[in-house]
Amino acid sequence: MKVKFKIYILIICTVFGLVLGVQIKQNNKNYSLVTLKSISSMQNEIKNTQKEIKNLKNMLDKKKVELKKYEQIIENKGSIVDVLEKELENMKMISGLEDVQGPGVFIIVEDNDDEIKIGDNPNYDIVHDIDVLYLINELKVAGAEAISVNGQRVLSNSEIKCGGPIIRINEHSLATPFVIKAIGDPKVLYAAVNAPNTYGNMLKEVYNIKIRTEISDNILIPRYLGDFKLEYAKPVKEGE
């Protein structure tokens, strides 16, 4: 009888030791306090990383489609030069090295030429570089695809700088009246300058600067006439 007890004790003690061993292993140092804040920040991090992965996958798909296109062209014995030339044309359009035309608006901005009364600040009657800059920015927000001021194409590297009575764009001096041309959805562009609470509306209503906006079905915007010189910027090769 007594041996039977001992066997039972042995079995139960083995089970107990098993649980004990697992617990000892479990409790090994990695038992640290996890606050709700750290959990939520970790969740955010995971979410962001997942979003990034999704974006990268999207990009990969896009590139695959592009690659397939090229392969198809080669299979169909078409010339790859044609495709590349087409692409070059497209690039030139985007970068502003081609004359472009299309529907859009032109905005004529002129100084307020009312007589100055005593106590008026003449500064408020002049069109400043910052006014033009803000107007162009609002046009960009409204989805303008090409913008020019007095025939000067405004690109990403175009400066709009005060030069006393004139303003300088693309190192050209421009004087009033400024004619800002923009190609895009004409209604949206019109609204971007004339809707209440826009900068254009404020110039008109508060400072009495003369702004006229007209919609046109065909606006011609000339290409950028200067030349790009990249002295310092160098391309980053992919995969490095």
Residues found near other proteins in the complex (CB under 8 A): 2, 4-27, 30-31
Here the tokens at position 2 are: 């007594």
The one-character DSSP state at 176 is S
Nearer to other proteins (CB atom), residue 16 or residue 70: 16
Are the C-beta atoms of residues 152 and 158 closer than 8 Å to each other?
yes
The phi and psi torsions of 81 (rounded to 5 degrees) equal -60, -40
Residue nearer to other proteins on the CB measure, 22 or 88: 22
- Cα–Cα distance between 237 and 7 in angstroms, integer? 72
Q: Where do the H-state alpha helices sit in the chain?
A: 2-26, 36-75, 80-95, 129-141, 186-194, 199-205
Of 39 and 130, the one with the shorter C-beta distance to other proteins is 39
| Residue with Cβ nearer other proteins (32 or 123) | 32
Least Cβ distance, residue 40 to other proteins (angstroms): 17
Cβ closer to other proteins: 31 or 228?
Answer: 31
Rounded to a whole number of angstroms, the minimum distance from the CB of residue 52 to other proteins is: 28
Terminal CA-CA length for the chain: 77
Helix (H/G/I), strand (E/B), else coil: 165: coil
* Rounded Cα distance, 230 and 240, in Å: 21
As measured in angstroms, the least distance from the Cβ of 3 to other proteins is 10
Q: How far is the CB of 28 from other proteins (least distance, A)?
A: 10
CB of 39 to other proteins, least distance (A): 12
Helix, strand or coil, per DSSP, at residue 203: helix
Q: How far is the CB of 25 from other proteins (least distance, A)?
A: 6
The nearer residue to other proteins, 25 or 237, going by C-beta atoms, is 25
CA distance 48 to 6: 59
**CA separation for the pair 192, 126 (Å, rounded):** 21
